Each structure stands twice: as C-alpha cells, then as structure tokens.
C-alpha cells in the first residue's frame, strides 16, 4: 500500500503553519539583548574617488555607538570578497579579478557602493546619523552600460582591466562552424538584448553579527541560500575566522532566486563590527537599498546566426555575447554567461557545430550574478527567438522546424557540441502533448476572430532544455569552479523511532521540510509527522552547498537517499541479529525487515530502539546507534526540458499585451510532490513573463545612476498582470544517474517563459512586418512599433 | 518628539510611548514584538505590511502609529482562533499551496480576508484585481487565486444561516 504521504503525493506543507500564523523567523525578526542597528553610508555617485570621510557630527548624534569605515577594515586586515569561479580568456590568460572590499577604501564604483557603517541603539538613530556623515567625493567619469564600456575611450572602471574587459572567452569549434556557414543554403540572424533584471525577493536582505567574548565564537544570522558557503568564504577569505569559531545561520528566508547565494559585504561588516563594538549588530536593507545592492541578473547583448540547409536542418550556430558583470565580481558572476549559458546553446536541437564567444565587461553598475535560471534563460531566449526567425526565413511552421531538428529520444545519451551530454529526454513528446492541449490547429481561427474584434493574436513556442542539479565537482573544477558542488545529509533515528534529517540544502520557499520528509516516510514506512528536517545552521549540519541551480532534490535528495541506504544496511544487520537469521535472508520493504519466507518481521522503530538500548545487541559486530551521514556528488548535470506555449492578444490602439493562455509541458523526471512542483513552475513562469512584458532595470548610460530604483519605476508582475496556467508534466524520462530519478524543477518556468511570450508577441505583430522586438514589450514600445510599421493613411484631398 | 499611543491589537489593549514619526508597522514589529507583519518595500506597493485597522485592510508601512490611536488592529497573529484553529482563509492557503517562502503571506492573507468581506463571492478577475496591491515573487499568483476562492467559499459557508424575519 503506497504511503499517502510518500513519494508522488501532494502532501500539504508543514512549514505553512508558522508562515500562515505570522510565526516565521526571518532575519529581521530576531532580537538580541543589547543589540545595535547598522545603517550603511553609500555612494550617490557611480564612480568617484574618496578623498575623506568626516563623521564627527555623526558620532555626536544621539544613540550612536560607532562609525566605521574601509580604513578601519583595512587596519584590521579584512580581505576582499572572493570570487568562486575563475574563467580564462581565449588566449589562456586568467580573468581580471580586482579586489572587492566590504567597505570601499579609496574609490567607489557603483551607486550604492558602501563607504561607511553607522552603528546606533535604534535603526532610526543610525539612519539619522548616517545622513550626517560627510564623504568628500571627487566624481569621476562613469560608464553605465556594457556597450559603452567597450566603446573606444570609455572610462576605466578598474585601472588594471583595459577596455573594461574581465575576460574574452569562447566555446565550441569555430572552424567547423565557419565551414558550415560557407556552405549554408539559408542563414537566420538576430540581434537581441536580454535586459538586466532585479531579482526582488520579497524579503530584503538582512544580516546580524554577534561575537561571544567568552569563547571567541562569531555567529552570523543572514538571509542566505547557502550558510556553509558563506561561512567558508567569509571565514577563510575576508575575516580570517577559522570555521570552528564561526557559526552561520540562515533561518527562514523570504525568497532568494539566486540573489541570496552570494557572500555580500554587509555580512562581513556586521560580523566584524560585532566584535569591534562588543554588541550584536543587525542590518536590514530597505527596498531601495536592495535595488542598489542585491546582485542583478541577465544583461546580455548578443548577435547570433543559424546556418541551415535547403530543408531547414540546422547546420551550425554562432553566437557573440557581451555580458555586463557590473562594477565588481560577485561570487559566481563569471560562470553565468559562460559555463551556465554557452553550454546550453544546442537547446533541444541536433545542430552539429556551435561556436560561442562571450566578452564580459565591468561597468559602474551593481554587480551582476545568478538570477533564477542563471544563464539558461539567456540561452533559451536566444535560441528560441532565432529558431522563430529561421522559421520565417524558411517559410516553415514554427513547430515543424523545431520537430525536424529535435534530438530524437533514441539518440540519448546525446553529446552536444558544447560540452554537455544530455542523459534522457523525449522532446517530440513534449510537443505532442502541448499541441492538442493548446488546440494549435484551431489557432488560425482564433486569430481571425480576434482580428474581427480589432485585436492582434499571436502564438509562441519555447522548447527549452536546461542543465541543473548543479553540479558534478570534477566537471565544475575542470571548468574553473573553486568549490565542489556535492551535498550532505545525515539521517538520525531516535530511540523511539522518530527521525531527524540534517540537510545541507536550504529551503527558502521550496518546501523541503515537507518533501524531504516524504522521501524518508516513504522509504521507512513511518508517519511523516515522525520526520523532522533541519537545515540552515552550520552548527547543526555537517556541511552543505545550499540551494540554487535546481539542485535540492537532485543532489540534496540523493545525499538523503545514500544516508538512508547506510541506515538500511545497518538496520538489516541489527534485524538479522534480533531475528536470529542470516543477514542475506532479510528482505526490506517499506521499512519492514522480514526473514524471507517467514512472518518474522520487525519495523524500523523496533530496530532503532534496539540500537539505542543495546541490551541484546551484537556489540562485537556493530556499534550502537542508528545515525548515518552521506555526501553525494552528482555524476552529471540533470536536464529538465519542456515545451511552453503562450497565446497573446495585443490591442493595437494601446499596445497592451494580454496573455490569453499559457501552457507548460515539462519533463522533470520523477516527481516527489506534484503540488509543490506545479507551484515552482507557476512562480518561474511569472518571472519569465515579468521579463518579457514588464521588468527592466535601467541605468543612465553616462552617469551610471539607477533610474529604476524602486517599485515605482520597476514594474513587478502583479496578480492582475498574469493569467492562470495549464501545467502538465510526464515522468517517462527519469534521470538515469541519481537514485531518485529527479531532474529538478525550480528554474524551468523562468527558462522557457520569456521566449514563449516574445515569440507570441512577435507573431501577433507579424502582420505589421515585425520580425523582432526587444524585451520588455511594454505597451508604449508595442504601440510605437505598430505605429512605425503601419503606413500613414493617405492625406485627405485639400479643399479647393 | 514622542507621544503615547494606545490601541487594541489582536484583542489586547496596549499603550506605549513612541516617537511621533513611528510607523504602525514598526510599532507592531519592534514595540509589540509582533513580527508576523513584514516590511517588503519603501514605496507602499508590495502589501507585505497589510493589517486590519477598524476592520479595513491598511498598509501599516504608510500609517503612523498615532493614526491608529484608539483603533482595533488585527494582525496575522490575531487571525486564527484562540485555540489555534486556522481562519478559513489561512486553511485555504495551506490547502491550495498559496505560499512558498511565506514573506508576502501575512499581508496577502489579510488583504484576501478584507477582499472577501467586500466581495463575498469574487470571480477570478475580481480576486486578481483586488490583490493588485500585494506582490508575490514566489507563487506566480495561480495558487493564491485558488486559495482566495476556496477561502471565500469557506467563509461564506461559515456564516450562520440568516434568521427569518418575524
């Protein structure tokens, strides 16, 4: 009998109880005796020299405990925020890696760059005093966009990065691609922008530092997706604190989407400051501060070409991308437009030759790093827009050109020309499910019916694949990662049969407290209420790389399975002893250990009790206890894939685009909790739709001022901006290389959605001769495109 | 610079001396320790701070504590019954997976309860428009809409049958 709370069940979440009753524990909720509040003084200029900082008046303000600057950090030998991934350029030289200090020392390089911190009894007092800090800036010329950064004569963000280039990298076979283009019957071309976005998790970042003078231990409570990573980076590279003296706690975290992966300067500031002032120090960003200082996402400018033969078979793809990294290297920034982007340029297609070059540049803007999808949305958007252009060049139906070029299921495992090997996938099946689901044959009639109502209707497809379940350490290391990407789990049975699981994964909305418990309940046949999942505290959990890159089930869940395997092996030995049988005669099913062919049987609970009350225990063969730990390093990435279909109606008079339907058909391998998986898809879809129609993080090119600095100017998708969705998935292609057979689902919605929406928008505008427009397709932009394309009516005859 | 504010919060009378510029959300979070109400933005748009003041939903980040002087304030902590039974709207959010990270949830639930009091049988369009002032980054709103619909049905079902006129 299947466990009603086991794998495959839509178990309702246990964490909801505290979230729904206002008893979540987010970092800003914490209070400590004698706690102080920190407010950062930040540069209002995109680029300036710091000539001096006068904080005499600030120090005299009521409640102020201290004002600390970069000079104080330098005197205490505080280091630079490290970068976790090294990229080499085409010529073999390593990327430029300028220092990145938690508090700027002699120069500021983006609006928001922190120069000092004011610590006071209350937040209001700290704010008031921060306004009294006088920084003498010498303003310098700034560069606010990647295209300007590489234009001749642009100001230098870092003196030792000529032309503002961090690296100039490539991947693929340029000679094979050039040869294919020379013989191509048709070529499709596109220039496109994948615009900068602000992740905007609803909880602003926060950090609280504490120092215990009695034992020399530091504690950092922070809004992080990966507390162990933060502990390692901050302890080893920035503050020189050995790990056994540094505890990092990531409590309830209100969303991350990648922006809370990185080790930020504020974390180091509050930890260091707590020792200096001898009191806990808490900092919480306000939203404007988040806009300025959270790592941003995307910001690619690309040119791409697709060579085809006379029948529309793809022969080769060449891509050239300019990637904006911002003013400093955020923790994983260099890897996003390289190994998480270019390696996905095959898409679902069997294009035999691919060559991509990526130039990454510094600008006087906020650092750019991973944001939901991290490189894969950029790849999917480029390919799927280009394939639609190719369909136009060939005069082929957009689904047919895709189907013709899909990697067939029979070709799996498939080695792409861009390093990755796909393990499983049935791309044609996703399309076969999607087309009747959206009534594709009926589209032309719907288009005519919309037209009769004065509206332009379009349909757009995005057949995406992505690589997640990050990552096999040996691959990542060979490609420049400075860390392994395994995961850890400990399964601790208690004497009376309940279980605590310690996982290095971190839940900031994904529901691990429920889904991981389902996996344990399913394996051992115990009630789910008896399983507790603990995450987020480096003092409690052996080690972990955290949650991002859709890795929690694929990697964290696999570590959990390995630990459960170890528990089961030991339990079998104990059972054999208790049942007076040979170990080889013990059969295990749903947590019951039975002597084969008999009804002599024990539940895991009985075994656990014996293990902890070992009055009759084979002590010469086994230690007491039932508590096992495992590390799991993936053998490969996992490859979720799917087909997104979007149908839009555009009002030509207003330029407003309405999504009339959106369907997502996905392959996530095995599904542990359907309700949670669908929720992840919905959220991802809206972020992709947000990019396509609403969001845009804009800097003034010349001054480097952030123009879209709040929700007033940065349009977040709201409930009435998006529709309800049709979500389907199939489990016919489980992942072949992890024990759960899961592929991960956290980012897939974001990866396909923007391309599907823009393909639909361009399709809707095709009647006006439009073949491309850049995101976001705001009403004003769409209205202008229509106006510029529509010939003006002939002037009326002049009166005699 | 400072003054005394008194109000009833979740049924309990409270009185504190605060700076005049203290926002209601800061009063709740810092002075009363009711951290269920959250601050998500500084332009009064995200709705994470929504509470009920004298029965109407209000953005507590844009209300001074003194403006709530003498009022009945209900926060997310006061929505469930005294014995811990969830309010039908809270239960509906759980049943329909209308929350993920939970940060927007208190404000979302408080807005939804007030929405349903205004429109007892809301359509999907009315729900989406009614929640325009509450931003969620995690759920994509799909399940929130389902939850609010189910919560509305449950709240209607919980009404005592109308007493026939004499």
User: A763-792, pLDDT tens digit by residue?
Assistant: 999 999 999 999 999 999 999 999 998 766
CA distance A448 to chain B (A): 25
Which candidate in B130, B140, B147 is best for mutational testing of the A interface (most A CBs within 10 A)?
A: B140
Is the Cβ pair A19, B131 closer than 8 Å?
no
Share of chain A above pLDDT 70, in %: 98
Of A20, A26, A685, the CB nearest to B94: A20
User: Above 90 in pLDDT, residue A795?
Assistant: no
- ipTM of predicted assembly, 2 dp: 0.96
Cβ–Cβ pairs < 8 A, chains A and B? 173
Average pLDDT, rounded, for chain A: 95
The whole-number pLDDT of residue A543 equals 87
- Please name every residue paired with B6 in a beta bridge, in sequence order, or none if there are none: B15
For residue A733, being part of any structural domain is answered with yes
The rounded distance, in Å, linking the Cα atoms of A361 and A167 is 7
Confidence of residue A800 (pLDDT cuts 50, 70, 90): very low
Instruction: Summarize the confidence of residues A51-65 as an average pLDDT.
Output: 98
Q: To 10 degrees, the CA torsion angle through B27, B28, B33, B39?
A: -100
Q: Give the span between the Cα atoms of A530 and B48, in whole angstroms.
A: 33
Decide which of A583, A611, A632 is a domain's last residue: A632
Cα–Cα distance measured from residue A318 to residue A298, given in angstroms and rounded to the nearest whole number? 20
CATH code, domain with A602? 3.30.365.10
**Cβ A682–B131 below 8 Å, yes or no?**
no
Model confidence pLDDT, tens digit, residues A23-39:
999 999 999 999 999 99
User: Structure tokens of A729?
Assistant: 């998935």
pLDDT digits (tens, 9 = 90+) for B138-165: 999 999 999 999 999 999 986 544 444 4
Best probe of the B interface among A509, A676, A718, A748, by most B CBs < 10 A, is A718
Whole-number mean pLDDT of chain B? Answer: 95
Mean pLDDT of the A437-454 span: 98
Is the Cβ pair A286, B42 closer than 8 Å?
yes
Are A703 and A773 found together in one domain? yes
A685-707 residue pLDDT tens:
999 999 999 999 999 999 999 99
Query: Looking at residue A552, what is its pLDDT?
Result: 92
Q: Which of A13, A20, A716 sits opposite B135 (nearest CB)?
A: A716
Judging contacts by C-beta atoms under 8 Å, the chain A residues touching residue B64 are none
CATH number at residue A105: 3.90.1170.50
Share of chain A above pLDDT 90, in %: 92
Task: Say if residues A524 and A234 touch (Cβ distance below 8 Å).
Answer: no
The A657-667 sheet, strands edge to edge: A456-465, A641-650, A657-667, A726-730
Q: What is the mean pLDDT of residues A726-751?
A: 94
Tokens coding B75: 């926060």
| pTM greater than 0.90 | yes
Give the pLDDT score at B159: 54
> Do A746 and A777 fall into the same domain?
yes
Are the C-beta atoms of A367 and A738 separated by less than 8 Å? no
Both A126 and A242 in a single domain?
yes
All domains in chain B, ordered by first residue: 2-78 (3.10.20.30), 88-157 (1.10.150.120)
Position A679 in a domain: yes
Q: How far is CA A476 from the centre of its chain?
A: 17
Residue A73 belongs to some domain of the structure: yes
User: Closest approach of chain A CAs to the CA of B162, in angstroms?
Assistant: 30
pLDDT at A567 over 90: yes
Cβ contacts of B99 on chain A, cutoff 8 Å: 16, 19-20
**Residue of chain B minimizing CA distance to A26:** B103
Whether residue A522 is predicted with pLDDT greater than 70 in this model: the reply is yes
Phi-psi region of A77 (alpha: psi -120 to 50; beta: other; left: phi over 0): left
CB-CB: which of B36, B43, B124 is closest to A724? Answer: B124
Task: Check whether residue A253 and residue A381 sit in a common domain.
Answer: no
Query: What is the mean pLDDT of the segment spanning A679-685?
Result: 98
Question: In terms of domains, do A446 and A522 share one?
Answer: no
Which residues does chain B have within 8 Å of residue A124's beta carbon, measured at their own beta carbons?
A: 19, 21
Over the stretch B48-58, which tens digit does the pLDDT of each residue have? 999 999 999 99
pLDDT value at residue A621: 83
Q: CB distance A21–B34 less than 8 Å?
A: no
CA distance B166 to chain A (A): 41
Same domain, residue pair A261 and A222: yes
Tell me whether residue A13 is in a domain: no
Q: What is the pLDDT of residues A703-720, one digit of tens each?
A: 999 999 999 999 999 999
Q: How far is B32 from chain A (nearest CA, A)?
A: 12
Q: Are residues A602 and A466 in the same domain?
A: no
User: Is A4 domain-assigned?
Assistant: no
| Same structural domain, A695 and A616 | no
pLDDT band for position A793 (cuts 50, 70, 90): low
Question: What confidence category does residue A727 fall into, taking pLDDT thresholds of 50, 70 and 90?
Answer: very high
Q: What SS3 state is found at B73? A: strand
Nearest by CB to A683, from B48, B76, B100: name it.
B100
Gap between the terminal Cα atoms of chain B: 57
Q: Chain centroid to CA A392: how far?
A: 33
In this structure, are A386 and A531 located in the same domain? Answer: no
Range of the domain at A493: 486-632
Q: In this complex, do B141 and A682 lie within 8 Å of one another by their Cβ atoms? A: yes
| Main-chain dihedrals φ then ψ at residue A438, nearest 5 degrees | -100, 5
Considering the domain architecture, whether residues A271 and A390 belong to the same structural domain is answered as no
- CB contact under 8 Å between A22 and B106, yes or no, is yes
As a whole number, mean pLDDT of residues B42-53 equals: 98
- A566 lies in the same domain as A498: yes
Euclidean distance between CA atoms A693 and A504, whole angstroms: 36
Category of B153 on φ-ψ map: left (φ > 0), alpha (ψ -120 to 50) or beta? alpha
The answer to whether position A169 is within a domain reads no
Q: Are A697 and A198 in contact (CB under 8 A)?
A: yes
Q: Is residue A776 reached through a cis peptide bond, with omega within 30 degrees of 0 on the bond before it?
A: yes
Q: Taking CB atoms and an 8 Å limit, are A200 and B137 in contact across chains?
A: yes
Residue A198 lies in a domain: no
Going by C-alpha positions, the residue among A610, A683, A647, A671 that lies closest to residue A759 is A647
Q: Cβ B128–A675 below 8 Å, yes or no?
A: no
Please list every residue in chain B whose beta carbon sits closer than 8 Å to the beta carbon of residue A685. 140
Euclidean distance between CA atoms A65 and A63, whole angstroms: 6
Look at A543-552, A597-606, B123-132 and tell me which has the smallest mean pLDDT: A543-552
| pLDDT tens-digit readout, A178-206 | 999 999 999 999 999 999 999 999 999 99
Q: What's the domain count of chain A?
A: 3
Span A551-556, average pLDDT: 92
Say if B102 is an interface residue toward chain A (CB within 8 Å).
yes
Q: Do B104 and A202 touch (CB under 8 A)?
A: yes
Listed in sequence order, the residues at least 6 apart from A597 whose beta carbon sits closer than 8 Å to its beta carbon are none
My answer on whether A318 and A222 are in the same domain is no
A475 belongs to a structural domain: no
- Cα–Cα distance measured from residue A109 to residue A743, given in angstroms and rounded to the nearest whole number: 40
Structure-block tokens of residue A497: 């049969």
Per-residue pLDDT at A2 exceeds 70: no
- Cβ within 8 Å of A, B 45-74: 45-46, 48
Query: For every residue of A606-624, which 3-state class applies, written as one string?
Result: HHHHHHHCCCCCCCCCCCC
Nearest CA-CA distance, residue B164 and chain A, Å: 36
pLDDT of A96 over the 50 cut: yes
Q: Is the pLDDT of residue B63 over 50?
A: yes
């Amino acid at each position: 009998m299947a466990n009603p709370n086991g794998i495959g069940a839509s178990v309702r979440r246990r964490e909801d109880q505290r979230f729904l009753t206002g008893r979540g524990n987010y970092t800003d909720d914490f209070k400590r005796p004698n706690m102080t509040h920190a407010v950062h003084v930040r540069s209002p200029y995109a680029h300036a020299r710091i000539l001096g900082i006068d904080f005499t008046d600030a120090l005299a303000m009521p409640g102020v405990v201290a004002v600390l600057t970069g000079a104080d950090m330098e005197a205490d030998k505080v280091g630079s925020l490290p970068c976790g991934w090294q990229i080499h350029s085409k010529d073999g030289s390593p990327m430029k890696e300028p220092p990145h200090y938690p508090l700027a020392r002699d120069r500021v390089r983006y609006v928001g760059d922190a120069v000092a911190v004011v610590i006071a009894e209350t937040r209001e007092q700290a704010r008031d005093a921060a306004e009294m800090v006088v920084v003498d800036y010498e303003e310098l010329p700034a560069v606010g966009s990647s295209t300007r950064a590489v234009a001749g004569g642009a100001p230098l963000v870092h003196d030792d990065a000529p032309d503002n280039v961090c690296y100039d990298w490539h991947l693929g076979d340029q000679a094979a691609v050039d040869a294919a283009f020379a013989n191509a019957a048709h070529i499709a071309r596109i220039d496109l922008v994948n615009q900068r976005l602000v992740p905007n998790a609803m909880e602003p970042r926060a950090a609280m530092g504490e120092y215990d003078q009695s034992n020399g231990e530091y504690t950092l409570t922070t809004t992080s997706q990966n507390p162990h990573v933060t502990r390692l980076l901050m302890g080893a590279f920035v503050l020189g604190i050995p790990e056994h003296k540094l505890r990092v706690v990531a409590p309830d975290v209100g969303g991350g989407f990648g922006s809370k992966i990185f080790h930020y300067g504020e974390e180091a500031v509050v930890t260091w400051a707590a020792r200096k002032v001898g009191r806990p120090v808490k900092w919480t960003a306000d939203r404007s501060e988040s806009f300025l200082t959270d790592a941003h996402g995307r910001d690619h400018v690309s040119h791409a070409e697709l060579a085809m033969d006379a029948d529309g078979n793809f022969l080769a793809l060449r891509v050239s991308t300019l990637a904006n990294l911002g003013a400093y290297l955020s923790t994983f920034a260099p890897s996003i437009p390289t190994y998480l982007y270019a390696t996905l340029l095959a898409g679902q297609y069997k294009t035999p030759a691919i060559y991509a070059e990526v130039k990454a540049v510094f600008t006087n803007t906020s650092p750019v790093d991973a944001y939901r999808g991290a490189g894969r949305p950029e790849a999917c958007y480029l390919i799927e827009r280009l394939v639609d252009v190719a369909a136009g060049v060939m005069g082929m139906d957009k689904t047919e050109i895709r189907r013709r070029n899909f990697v067939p299921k029979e070709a799996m495992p498939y080695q792409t020309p861009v390093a990755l090997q796909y393990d499983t996938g049935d791309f044609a099946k996703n399309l076969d499910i999607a087309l009747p689901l959206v009534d594709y044959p009926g589209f032309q009639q719907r288009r005519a019916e919309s037209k009769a109502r004065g509206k332009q209707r379009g349909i757009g497809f995005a057949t995406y694949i992505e690589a997640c379940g990050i990552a096999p350490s040996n691959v990542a290391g060979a490609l420049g990662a400075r860390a392994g990407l395994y995961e850890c789990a400990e399964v601790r049975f208690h004497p009376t049969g309940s279980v605590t699981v310690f996982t290095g994964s971190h839940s900031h909305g994904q529901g691990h407290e429920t889904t991981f418990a389902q996996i344990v309940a399913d394996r051992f046949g115990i009630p789910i209420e008896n399983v507790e999942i603990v995450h987020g505290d480096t003092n409690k959990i052996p080690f972990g790389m955290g949650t991002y890159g859709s890795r929690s089930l694929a990697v964290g869940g696999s570590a959990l399975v390995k630990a459960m395997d170890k528990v089961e092996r030991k339990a079998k030995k104990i059972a054999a002893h208790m049942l007076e049988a040979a170990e080889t005669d013990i059969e295990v099913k749903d947590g019951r250990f039975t002597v084969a062919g008999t009804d002599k049987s024990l539940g895991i609970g009985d075994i656990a009790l014996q293990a902890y009350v070992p009055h009759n225990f084979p002590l010469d063969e086994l230690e007491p206890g039932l508590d096992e730990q495992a590390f799991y390093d993936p053998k490969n990435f996992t490859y979720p894939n799917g087909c997104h279909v979007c149908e839009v109606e555009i009002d030509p008079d207003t330029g407003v685009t309405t999504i009339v339907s959106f369907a997502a058909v996905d392959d996530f391998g095995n599904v542990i909790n359907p309700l949670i998986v669908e929720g992840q898809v919905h959220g991802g879809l809206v972020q992709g739709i947000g990019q396509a129609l609403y969001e845009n993080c804009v800097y003034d090119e010349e001054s480097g001022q952030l123009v879209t600095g709040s929700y007033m100017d940065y349009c977040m998708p709201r409930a009435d901006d998006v529709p309800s969705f049709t979500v389907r998935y199939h489990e016919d292609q489980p992942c072949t290389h992890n024990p759960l057979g899961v592929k991960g689902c956290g980012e897939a919605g974001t990866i396909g959605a923007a391309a599907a929406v823009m393909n639909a928008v361009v399709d809707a505008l095709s009647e006006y001769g439009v073949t491309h427009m850049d995101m976001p397709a705001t009403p004003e932009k769409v209205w202008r495109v229509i106006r510029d394309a529509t010939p003006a009516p002939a002037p009326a005859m002049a009166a005699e | 610079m400072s003054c005394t504010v008194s109000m009833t919060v979740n049924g309990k009378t409270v009185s504190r001396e605060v700076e005049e510029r203290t926002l209601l959300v800061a009063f709740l979070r810092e002075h009363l320790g009711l951290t269920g109400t959250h601050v998500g933005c500084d332009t009064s748009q995200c709705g994470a701070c929504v509470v009920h003041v004298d029965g109407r939903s209000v953005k507590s980040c844009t209300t001074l504590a003194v403006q709530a002087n003498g009022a009945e304030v209900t926060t997310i902590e006061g929505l469930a019954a005294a014995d811990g039974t969830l309010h039908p709207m809270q239960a509906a959010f759980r049943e329909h997976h209308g929350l993920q990270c939970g940060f927007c949830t208190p404000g979302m639930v408080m807005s939804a309860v007030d929405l349903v009091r205004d429109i007892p049988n809301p359509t999907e369009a009315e729900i989406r428009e009614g929640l325009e002032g509450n931003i969620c980054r995690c759920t994509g709103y799909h399940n929130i809409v389902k939850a609010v619909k189910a919560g509305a049905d449950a709240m209607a079902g919980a009404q005592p049958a109308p007493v026939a006129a004499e």
